[in-house]
A = this chain, B = another copy of it.
Amino acid sequence: MQSFLFYNPTKLYFGKNQIEHLVPELQNFGMTVLLVYGGGSVKRTGLYDEIKSCLIRAHMRIFELSGIEPNPKLETIQEGIDLCKKEKIDVVLAVGGGSCIDAAKLICVAAKFDGDPWQIVMQKVEPKEALPLGVILTIAATGSEMNGTSVISRRNTKEKYSWSHILAYPKFSILDPTYTITVPKDQTVYGIVDMMTHIMEQYFHRTPHTPILDRMCEGLLQTIIETAPKVVKNLEDYQARETLMYAGTLALNRSLSTGADGDWAAHGIEHALSAYYDIPHGGGLAIIYPQWMKHVASFHPKRFSQFATRVFQIDSNHKTTEEVIHAGIEALQHFWCLLGAPSRLSDYKIDDTSIEKLVAHAMKRPLGKIKLLTAKDIRQILLSSL
């Protein structure tokens, strides 16, 4: 293990009817709220009306920023920042999934900053203060509801990068699994892939002696592997939705990265991919991640064989380490395939024409701890994903 600081100040309200805590929590910060949400789903499900009537009954002043897109764009977020400054917003409430929460995080931090918000994303400036953020989560996937990380895209330059700051942790997050029942199958599967890769990105590292983290990651992956098929079979299985929702949060609330330095290279490559093609993050990961595994496994075979035997119960008898590793990766691919996730770039009609642009985007930050990736590595991973 390495030295670490663990500090997660988000209050997590989990379970049915936890929305009863919304107004008291918001009013800790003031009476003027900016509601940040995406497209029509929160209106279709009735959640939008429920929240609005809570806030109106509490006599709160409400402003709205709707239309946050998947892979949220700086251009949309700028409207929210301007609104916060103009209307003296006290607290921001994100209602939705990772895109809404990530957008709201940048709104909160940039509302207290006089300068180009992209500088915050590129980590060129150190934020000093932020508006408080509350979250109502509607999809199990991101983990953004209990961490300080946000991923932002810029439409005109086709860029997509993540940034993190302690000021960007939500003050509170309300997780009612009921809200995830209406998430359609494809989005549900992308969420499952997303949370599984979050765990694996932290699991695959070179830090010696991390037995506690290992078992936490393995146990959480096993639970998701047991649970995901139930949800895909019956989208209204509340107990399974509940398990997935909590798993998604635990996957990225930093408790799995205490004292180890996770790889995160596949995420970097996927960010380039979805920046350029605007494909779903979970879909991109389902394609890239296994190819990344195959490409780097030989640089830390012990870790990849432990993954195979402990997560997918690959029997290692009469097998070489390479065979065990291969069987583990195959099992993961097979599992995602059964859920209905994409497995090749061609599933999104993506060919090799823009590969050099993707490589250049991905190379803007150092990528990889199992193996520090070169341009050649990234190119090979992308080519093997076609």
Contacts and interface: CB of A to CB of B under 8 A. Distances in A.
Nearest to A209: B239
Interface string A226-253: 1100000000000100110011001000
Contact of A219 (B3, B216, B250): B216
A243 B211 contact: yes
A258 B245 CA distance: 13
A220 B4 CA distance: 19
Contact of A15 (B1, B21, B216, B226): B1
Given A215-B223, A223-B215, A17 B3 contact: yes
Interface string A211-226: 1100110111011001
A60 interface: no
A113 interface: no
Interface residues of A, number: 40
Interface stretch (A5-13, A30-38, A367-375): A5-13
A14 interface: yes
Nearest to A222: B215
A259 B218 CA distance: 21
A18 interface: yes
Contact of A12 (B6, B18, B215, B223): B6
Given A212-B220, A215-B219, A255-B255, A7 B14 contact: no
B211 A227 contact: yes
Nearest to A219: B215
A247 B212 contact: yes
A18 B5 CA distance: 9
A282 B319 CA distance: 44
Contacts of A247: 212
A267 to B, nearest CB: 23
A14 B9 contact: no
A209 B243 CA distance: 9
B18 A11 contact: no
Contacts of A1: 14-15, 242-243, 246
A116 B218 CA distance: 48
A2 interface: yes
Given A1-B242, A1-B246, A246-B1, A259 B215 contact: no
A98 to B, nearest CB: 20
Contacts of A258: 12, 14, 246
Given A1-B15, A1-B246, 5 more contacts: A2-B15, A6-B12, A12-B258, A211-B227, A218-B219
24 contacts: A1-B15, A5-B11, A5-B13, A6-B12, A6-B14, A7-B11, A7-B12, A9-B9, A15-B259, A209-B242, A211-B226, A211-B227, A212-B219, A212-B243, A212-B246, A212-B250, A215-B219, A215-B220, A215-B222, A216-B216, A216-B220, A218-B219, A219-B219, A246-B258
